[in-house]
Amino acid sequence: MNILIIVLALVVGFVVWTFFGFLQYKRLEAKDKSTISQLLSQGHDLMSAFTTALADLNTRYDLSLSQQTISHVANKIAEVAPQMGSGNVIEIYSTFVHRYLFRDKPRRTGVKLGQTKVVYAADNIDLQERNGYFVIRPDTPEDIELKYPEKGA
């Protein structure tokens, strides 16, 4: 009986932990949308809005991204805009930031990123359409080593 209670507690704990992690991601995504929307309402074009937002993240979280890398990533994300609505491309931006800059973890300061990996991830954004809505396709095992920063980073 005690084993059953322990297993049940672990399962419930995992579900709650996953749920709160998802809520935190959605909160950060909403913040990204708000930031980009605010920049767009101030007269920035999409490329400029992404560049400004990435530069702000770079400064705030000490990501060590070069201005060239920031511009390259912003350009690559802005290039997919004609395929979809502005809300969808902002979600692509937010997913990119969450997945490739922060490695699917909460945003934290001092993550040292390899410029080549970030550029490779931007160059190889693979979109998947689902009923007119686009998402970044999950990475293949071969791409993981090329796109993600080292685990110690």
CA distances from 50 to 12, 37, 90, 131, 152 (A): 39, 10, 9, 26, 27
pLDDT given at position 152: 46
State both tokens at 96: 């990119």
Q: Residue ranges per domain, the chain?
A: 2-147
* Range from 15-19, 23-27, 102-106 carrying the lowest mean pLDDT: 102-106
* Alpha carbons 58 and 79: distance in angstroms, whole number: 21
Query: Helices marked H in 42-140 — which ranges?
Result: 46-61, 67-79, 86-96, 115-123
Q: Of 83, 79, 76, which Cα lies nearest the Cα of 121? A: 76
Residue 97 and residue 52 in contact, taking contact as beta carbons nearer than 8 Å: no
| pTM score of the predicted model | 0.78
pLDDT given at position 105: 67
pLDDT in tens, 24-57: 878 888 888 888 989 988 988 888 999 999 999 8
Phi-psi domain of 112 (left: phi exceeds 0; alpha: psi -120 through 50; beta: other) = beta
Per the prediction, the chain carries an average pLDDT of: 83
